[in-house]
Structure formats: structure tokens, C-alpha cells
Amino acid sequence: MNRHTLLLLIPMLAAVLAGCGVPTVRTLQPTVETAPVPHAGDAADDPAIWVDPADPARSLIIGTDKRGGIAVYDLAGTQLQYRPDGELNNVDLRDNVALGAEPVSLVTAGNRTTNTMLAYRVVPGERGLQPVPLTLSPTIEIYGSCMYRDPGGRLFVFITSKSGVAEQWELLRAGAGFTGTRVRSFDVGGQTEGCVADDARGLLYVAEEAVSIWQYSAAPDANEARVAVDRTGPGGHLTSNIEGLALAGPWLIASSQGNSTFAFYRRSDNAYQGSFRIGASAGIDGVSDTDGIEATAAALGPQFPQGVLVVQDGSNDAANQNFKLVPLQALAPG
């Protein structure tokens, strides 16, 4: 078979596979990458996105270096700040949190060095993070974490573990900072890290790495009832390990680390919408072995007018690991 014939057959084969229910995997391209994290090896892990309400084009990417600290980047990928605060893993944030005279954007991150949670506030003028006192020492070994705010404005942190046990902690004001009170504990099953909470719908999504994405109620008094969004293995669209989870616009997005792809789902009913990988673009290498991800549908200026997807890259050419940025509109099916 000559090359010309093969090129003609490729779209025909894709159509046949789609008709048989075999999903095709699109390739998206990053338009920006961040500076590498300071530490070598498996170091970069999870990002968060702070949207600057005064000037969205000056929004920030906050990324963890689980071998030593946490970094802040602008939307061009330039590192603006690095705090060597320990082996920080998952990071999340919520805006408009009451603290002092004015509300702040509160950032939390799990510290594996001390098995505690750390808290920061975003300082817009300095384009960086400032520590906030937080007293919260979980009874499990921290592996991952994410934040949740309920309809009444109560603020919580979910903590996940390698054992599969998860804890929910309420953050309560205490002087210039916060203290944590455990309100719930439940067993996901196997090793879990990635999680994300849907504040508007009161839902929690947890990645049991070798098995499934699970949907729970995020209410502190909820039971352990859950729904499987998607699974690894036959009938599923994921390959172990399932890692980072993110919510943006109408979508739930998941990192299928085992085959270096990403799957996304309709939030309203968990319906699978497709899979994609992130390939190379001009001057930026492709993405593989992704841990943490984050996304926003907020307009972030001319570079990302419909939002952005930020993903950790497990192999950044010959440099230390970093994060890649993809315009969110690229995810739209079709």
C-alpha cells in the first residue's frame, strides 16, 4: 500500500471507528508554557488560576513544586514568585473570603513535609502570595486536597489520601487566619489524590486513581452515596492513573495519566464528550504523564478570550517539569 492510498484511508478508518463507538482522540496545542519549577525529577504537580477582577489579562497561575514549594506565574509563563515552603502538592483557591477589612482570594495547599494544610492570600499589587495562619492537621496522610464553599458561604477543604480515606474540614475564622474543624470522613476505596468541588451544585468529584471518577455530595452531613462518572478498563474512557480534575464552563475535565490523554464530560449529566491529547506547538513540547490540571472559562484578555486550561507536564524536554496553557475554546467538540 502506497503512502497516498494510506492517507486516503485514514479518515475513512476514523469514521468507521467512530461509528463502532470507538472514540477518536483529538490533539490540541499549547500556546504558552511556564518556566520550569526549581526542582528536578517528578516535582511540578498541581495548578490553580487566580482571575484578576481589575484586569483579567494580569491573572495568575499558581503551581506547586512538590519537592520544595509553590510558584506564581503570569499568563506569559514567567515566574513572578517562588516560596520554598515545603513539599506542597495540590493547590486550590476561593475568591471573596472574609479576612480583615476586605475580602481576599484564599489559597490552600497540602504540605507533605509537615502533613498540614497551608493557606495564603493573593496580593494583587505584588502579584504574589502572602501566608495566612491556618491550624489544620488531618488525621490521614495528605495526598491531595481541594476547596468547597456551600450555598450558605461556609468554606471547606477536602483532603484525600493514598489509603483512600477522605476528610472534609470546615475553615473557621480565628484571629488573623483560620482553624480547621473536621466535619466528615469517608472511604473512597483505593488511592485518591485529585478532587474538585462544584460549589453551585454542591457536588464533589474524586479520582480513585486506578478505578473511577466518583461524584459525591459535598455537603458536610452527606452520606457516602456516590455515582461513577467514568472508569478505567473496559467500557471506560480512562487509563490508570486518573489524576487531576477541573471544572470550567459546562465541562468536567480529567487527566488520564496512564495514556497521556484528557477526557471531558458535560457537568449537567456527566455525559462523556470526548478525549484529547496536548501535542507540541511552535517552540513548546507536547504534554505527557500529567498530574494536576485546572481550568477557567473566564475571559483572560487577548491570549485567552474564552478561558484557559492549565496542565502539568511530566516530561518537559530536557528541562525540569512545568505547566502548559491551552486556550479553553479548543476543547469544544467538533
CATH number of the domain encompassing residue 278: 2.120.10.30
pTM (2 decimals)? 0.93
Number of domains present in the structure of the chain: 1
Largest CA distance in the chain: 74
Report yes or no: 190 and 166 within 8 Å, Cβ to Cβ: no
Within-domain flag for 31: yes
Query: Residue 101: its pLDDT value, please?
Result: 87
Low-confidence ranges of the chain (pLDDT < 50): 1-22
Range of the domain at 135: 23-331
Within-domain flag for 274: yes
pLDDT tens for residues 199-223?
999 999 999 999 999 999 999 999 9
Determine how many CB atoms are found less than 10 A away from the CB of residue 183: 14
Within-domain flag for 51: yes
Within-domain flag for 9: no
Within-domain flag for 259: yes
pLDDT tens for residues 20-60?
444 589 999 999 999 999 999 999 999 999 999 999 999 99
Q: How long a stretch of residues is the chain?
A: 334
**Contact partners, residue 240, CB within 8 Å, separation at least 6:** 209, 210, 211, 232, 257, 258
Where helices occur in the chain by DSSP H, the ranges are 3-19
Within-domain flag for 6: no
Within-domain flag for 15: no
Report yes or no: 259 and 8 within 8 Å, Cβ to Cβ: no
Report yes or no: 281 and 30 within 8 Å, Cβ to Cβ: yes
Report yes or no: 45 and 1 within 8 Å, Cβ to Cβ: no
Query: Residue 141: its pLDDT value, please?
Result: 97
Query: Residue 334: its pLDDT value, please?
Result: 61
Within-domain flag for 8: no
